[in-house]
Amino acid sequence: MDKHDALSSEPASNVRTHEGKVIIITGAGSGIGRASSIKLAARGAKVVIVDFNEASGQETLDLVKSNGGDGIFVQADVAISADVQNYVQKTLDAFGKIDVLFNNAGMMQKFQRFQDVSEEEFDRVIDVNLKGIFLGMKYVLQVMDKQGYGHIINTASTTAIRAEHSLASYTASKHGVAGLTKAAAIEYVRKGIRINAICPGGVATSMTAAVPQELTESGYIPEEFPNMRIGRYADPAELAEIVVFLASDASSYMTGSIILADGGLTL
């Protein structure tokens, strides 16, 4: 198990608030996606664990099952349309419906000057972080539209609402995620379908493990790094608690919200 996930295991819950819900979680092989999968399954949801890393995705499924939860793993690159259509179909084959998509898979870019970002690097960040979110929304909305209900939770970032120095591609991709969230929310607002986005600040996952070193090498350390204003990175489990709330009926009046959970980073 990733050392950063050490605090993300979850005791089996007797609060079955998500019983009967079918929830797809992308990027579920690690970090926020893994912690959310474990918590949602402990609350009674059937989880569809999606990741392009087969070993870590299977490991999340094992953790879910050893905790008394139920689910399946589907290998997919969220940037590839056929893979996305496949995870949607596998979900329907296994469970017959989709209540929630936690559209969470994403990648970091190397901290570097705008002018040094290669076109290939820019394309890949946009493909995974923006097109991957778009594809998940597109194919899941087709299902939810027929169902007449559903909720999509996209993972954006504080970089969806403000720029981060030396992270131009990542910032652009996450601004795009906020745009897709609002555009879909307004279109489906009267159709029983809600779309929201979460914006984590610094979360201790494999994605951020290399950040201190990269910042040192880039020669620019923003004032709020490395203490993230609040004095520490979040544990993935703290983000998962927000996902659990959003994925429940308790968030029923929220749609089109761009929700910060950043330890004051953007203050």
Ligand X SMILES: NC(=O)c1ccc[n+]([C@@H]2O[C@H](COP(=O)([O-])OP(=O)(O)OC[C@H]3O[C@@H](n4cnc5c(N)ncnc54)[C@H](O)[C@@H]3O)[C@@H](O)[C@H]2O)c1
Mark the segment that binds ligand X (CB under 6 A) among 73-81, 141-149, 181-189, 240-248: 73-81
d(CA 31, CA 204): 8
Question: Min. distance of Cβ 85 from ligand X in angstroms?
Answer: 14
Beta carbons within 8 Å of 193's beta carbon, 6+ residues apart: 141, 144, 145, 149, 150, 151, 152
CA distance 136 to 39: 22
Which one-letter amino acid corresponds to residue 94? A
CA–CA separation, 165 and 162 (whole Å): 10
Rounded least distance, CB 38 to ligand X, Å: 13
Task: Tell which residue, 32, 34, 29, has the closest CA to residue 200.
Answer: 32
Q: What percent of the chain is helix, strand and coil (3-state, nearest 5)?
A: 45, 15, 40
Interface with ligand X, residue 205, by CB under 6 A: yes
- Which of the residues 76 through 115 are near ligand X (CB under 6 A)? 76-79, 104-107
- Using rule CB under 6 A, residue 171 touches ligand X: no
> Among 16-24, 39-47, 187-195, 197-205, which window interacts with ligand X (CB under 6 A)?
197-205
The pattern of x and - marking residues 130 through 159 that bind ligand X according to CB under 6 A reads: --x----------------------x-x--
Assess 224 for contact with ligand X (CB under 6 A). Answer: no
**List of residues 6+ apart from 68 with CB closer than 8 A:** 12, 41, 42
Type of residue found at 106: G
Catalytic residue among 87, 139, 170, 233: 170
Is residue 45 within 8 A of residue 22, CB to CB? The reply is: yes
Is 170 designated active site?
A: yes
DSSP string, 175-193: HHHHHHHHHHHHHHTTTTE
Tell me how far, at minimum, the Cβ of 114 lies from ligand X, in Å: 19
Number of chain residues interacting with ligand X (CB under 6 A): 29
> CB of 126: closest distance to ligand X in angstroms?
12
Interacting residue with ligand X among 47, 84, 167, 203 (CB under 6 A): 203
Q: Are 77 and 101 in contact (CB under 8 A)?
A: no
Q: For residue 157, what is the DSSP state?
A: -
Query: Does residue 52 belong to the site contacting ligand X (CB under 6 A)?
Result: yes
Q: Assess 263 for contact with ligand X (CB under 6 A).
A: no
Nearer to ligand X, 20 or 212 (CB): 212
Q: Min. distance of Cβ 148 from ligand X in angstroms?
A: 28
Judged by beta carbon, residue 1 or residue 143, the one nearer ligand X is 1
Q: Considering the complex, state which of residue 98 and residue 243 has its C-beta at the smaller distance from ligand X.
A: 243
User: What residues line the site for ligand X (CB under 6 A)?
Assistant: 27, 29-33, 51-53, 56, 76-79, 104-107, 128, 132, 155, 157, 200, 202-203, 205-208
Residues annotated catalytic, as ranges? 170
